[in-house]
Chain A
Amino acid sequence: MTHLAIPKTYKLYIGGAFPRSESGRTYEVTTSKGAFIANAAKASRKDARDAVVAARAAFSGWSGTTGYNRGQVLYRIAELLEGRRAQFVDELRSTDGLTEAAATKQVDSAIDAWVWYAGWADKYLQVAGNGNPVSGPYFNISTPEPTGVVAVIAPATHGLLGLVSVIAPVILSGNTVVVVASESSPLSAISLSEVLATSDVPAGVVNVLTGSAAEIAPWLASHADVNALDLAGAEALEWVDLQIAAADTLKRVLPPESGLPALTVDRVTFFTETKTVWHTKALI
Chain B
Amino acid sequence: MTMEASNTRWLDYAPAPESTSILHLKKSYGLFIDGDFVAGSGRSFTTISPADEHSIAEIASADAGDVDRAVAAARKAYNSTWSKLGGADRGKYLYRIARLVQERARELAVAESLDNGKPIKESRDVDVPLVAAWFFYYAGWADKLEHAGLGPNPRALGVAAQVIPWNFPLLMLAWKIAPALAAGNTVVIKPAETTPLSALIFAEILQQADLPNGVVNIITGAGETGSLLVNHPDVNKVAFTGSTAVGRAIAKSTAGTGKKLTLELGGKAANIVFDDAPIDQAIEGIVNGIFFNQGHVCCAGSRLLVQENIETEVVDRLKERLVTLRMGDPLDKNTDIGAINSRAQLDRIRALSDIGEEEGATRWSAPCEIPAKGFWFAPTIFTGVETSHRIAREEIFGPVLSVLTFRTPAEAIAKANNTPYGLSAGIWSDKGSKVLAVADKLRAGVIWANTFNKFDPSSPFGGYKESGYGREGGRHGLAAYLTNAVLQSGANK
Contacts and interface: CB of A to CB of B under 8 A. Distances in A.
Interface of A: 127-128, 130, 132-136, 138, 140, 142, 144, 147-148, 227-228, 239-240, 243-244, 246-255, 266, 269-280
B292 interface: no
Contact of A276 (B252, B255, B459): B459
B265 interface: yes
B318 interface: no
15 contacts: A130-B474, A132-B460, A132-B474, A134-B454, A135-B133, A136-B454, A136-B456, A147-B490, A244-B255, A246-B251, A250-B263, A250-B465, A252-B469, A274-B476, A275-B439
A244 B458 CA distance: 33
Interface string B454-487: 1010111110111011010011100000001011
Contacts of A140: 456, 458-459
B449 interface: yes
Contacts of A127: 149
Nearest to A140: B459
B241 to A, nearest CB: 14
Contact of A142 (B465, B466, B476): B476
A140 B455 CA distance: 11
Interface of B: 133, 149, 244, 247-248, 251-252, 255-256, 263, 265, 420, 422, 432, 435, 439, 443-451, 454, 456, 458-462, 464-466, 468-469, 471, 474-476, 484, 486-490, 492-493
A225 to B, nearest CB: 11
A228 B490 contact: yes
A239 B256 contact: yes
B474 A253 contact: no
A278 B455 CA distance: 10
Nearest to B432: A279
A274 B445 contact: yes
B486 A278 contact: no
A144 B464 CA distance: 11
Given A142-B476, A243-B255, A278 B447 contact: yes
A255 B490 CA distance: 10
A274 B458 CA distance: 14
A51 B265 CA distance: 29
Given A250-B251, A252-B489, A274 B449 contact: no
Given A253-B492, A270-B490, A240 B461 contact: no
A182 to B, nearest CB: 23
A273 B471 CA distance: 9
Contact of B489 (A134, A239, A273): A273
Looking at B149, B451, B460, B490, the one whose CB has the most chain A CB atoms below 10 A away is B490
Nearest to B466: A250
A248 B465 CA distance: 11
Contacts of A136: 454, 456
A280 B489 contact: no
A244 B255 CA distance: 6
Contacts of A274: 445, 460, 462, 471, 476, 488-489
Contacts of B446: 275-276, 278
A230 to B, nearest CB: 11
A276 B461 contact: yes
Contacts of A135: 133, 456, 458
A255 B254 CA distance: 12
A132 B488 contact: no
Contacts of A130: 474-475
A277 B476 contact: no
